[in-house]
């Protein structure tokens, strides 16, 4: 029997900070009354369309987009979360086709179409803001984001990484885990800061590495966990249950 070295889902310490999801939404637009709340006329004319009142996310992806698909299947269009854009640096990214199939607006921002990476990120940021996104979700987005982009969307960009950070950051995390001979690796969802896979951790889940496991098999196991954990983490953020301590911005707290 494998020893479980961390709980199946590890959330960092709980304190009472301002709720991030609420901060994000109140900064953007007024909230419609909660479902079932008595109407007092003050919100008369405010659009009740879920596409307006839902927590709006833009997903950025460079590859096939299986994590995007998990988000589309598990969250999109069900009232709480709306995917309002899929962006990519690669015109051929499979994620774009997945977005189109779901009726989501797509856009491509190849760096070659801009003077430099900073200009590309500025154009992409303008598009994200025009979509009125609450959160930017990186799902296999293989470009480093420039520091001004990270600052512009501070604490509003999340990423998924196929390892238990801080172990195995950067490229080929699954290959790194196999080469290191670890008994377990996993998946991390974290906020994005200026470093490579260094931002505050939101959620982690372990994946065992059985002796002699093949790379494809381990990749499949990691991806299966990603497809559960990412929608769960985004749901928690959309529900306003994820909080960052302003005096200790590396600390993420999760409300039950």
Q: Does residue 161 have an active-site annotation?
A: yes
Sketch the per residue contact string, 176 through 215, with ligand GRF: x for CB under 6 A, - otherwise.
----------------------------------------
Q: Tokens representing 78?
A: 């069900």
Q: How many residues bind ligand GRF (CB under 6 A)?
A: 12
Among 87, 162, 200, 240, binds ligand GRF (CB under 6 A): 162
Residue 15 CA: distances (Å) to CA of 19, 95, 120, 161: 11, 37, 38, 25
Query: By CB under 6 A, which span of 52-60, 98-106, 114-122, 160-168 interacts with ligand GRF?
Result: 160-168
Sketch the per residue contact string, 214 through 253, with ligand GRF: x for CB under 6 A, - otherwise.
------------x---------------------------
Q: How far is the CB of 190 from ligand GRF (least distance, A)?
A: 11
User: Can you tell me the distance from the alpha carbon of 160 to that of 154, in angstroms, rounded to the nearest whole number?
Assistant: 17
Map the footprint of ligand GRF across residues 51-70, applying CB under 6 A.
Answer: 61, 63-67
Q: Tokens representing 230?
A: 């990412």
Please answer whether residues 48 and 32 qualify as being in contact, where contact means their C-beta atoms are separated by less than 8 angstroms. yes
User: Can you tell me the distance from the alpha carbon of 135 to that of 56, in angstroms, rounded to the nearest whole number?
Assistant: 7
Sketch the per residue contact string, 67 through 106, with ligand GRF: x for CB under 6 A, - otherwise.
x---------------------------------------
Catalytic residue among 76, 161, 190, 227: 161
Q: How far is the CB of 205 from ligand GRF (least distance, A)?
A: 12
- Please choose, from the candidates 245, 244, 255, the residue with its C-alpha nearest in 3D space to the C-alpha of residue 158: 244
User: Can you tell me the distance from the alpha carbon of 121 to that of 98, in angstroms, rounded to the nearest whole number?
Assistant: 23
For ligand GRF, the closer CB: 160 or 253: 160
Q: How far is the CB of 230 from ligand GRF (least distance, A)?
A: 8
Q: How far is the CB of 66 from ligand GRF (least distance, A)?
A: 3
Among 84, 145, 160, 201, binds ligand GRF (CB under 6 A): 160
Binding site for ligand GRF (CB under 6 A): 61, 63-67, 139-140, 160-162, 226
* Residues tagged active-site: 161
């Amino acid at each position: 029997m494998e020893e479980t070295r961390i709980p199946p889902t590890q959330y960092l310490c709980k304190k009472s900070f301002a709720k991030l999801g609420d901060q994000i939404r109140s900064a953007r637009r007024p909230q419609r009354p909660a479902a079932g709340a008595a109407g007092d006329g003050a919100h008369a004319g405010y659009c009740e369309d879920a596409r307006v009142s839902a927590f709006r996310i833009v997903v950025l992806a460079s590859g096939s987009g299986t994590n995007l698909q998990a988000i589309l299947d598990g969250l999109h269009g069900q009232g709480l979360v709306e995917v309002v854009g899929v962006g990519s640096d690669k015109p051929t990214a499979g994620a774009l086709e997945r977005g189109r199939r779901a009726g989501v607006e797509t856009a491509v921002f190849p760096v070659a179409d801009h003077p430099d990476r900073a200009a590309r990120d500025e154009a992409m940021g303008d598009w994200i803001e025009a979509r009125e996104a609450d959160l930017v979700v990186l799902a296999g987005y293989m470009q480093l984001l420039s520091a001004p982009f990270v600052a512009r969307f501070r604490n509003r960009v999340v990423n998924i990484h196929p390892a238990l950070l801080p172990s195995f950051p950067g490229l080929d995390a699954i290959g790194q885990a196999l080469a290191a001979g670890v008994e377990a690796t996993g998946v991390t969802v974290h906020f994005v800061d200026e470093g490579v896979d260094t931002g505050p951790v939101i959620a982690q889940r372990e994946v065992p590495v059985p002796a002699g496991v093949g790379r494809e098999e381990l990749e499949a196991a990691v991806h299966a966990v990603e497809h559960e954990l990412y929608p769960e983490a985004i749901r928690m953020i959309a529900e306003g249950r994820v909080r960052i301590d302003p005096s200790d911005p590396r600390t993420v707290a999760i409300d039950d």
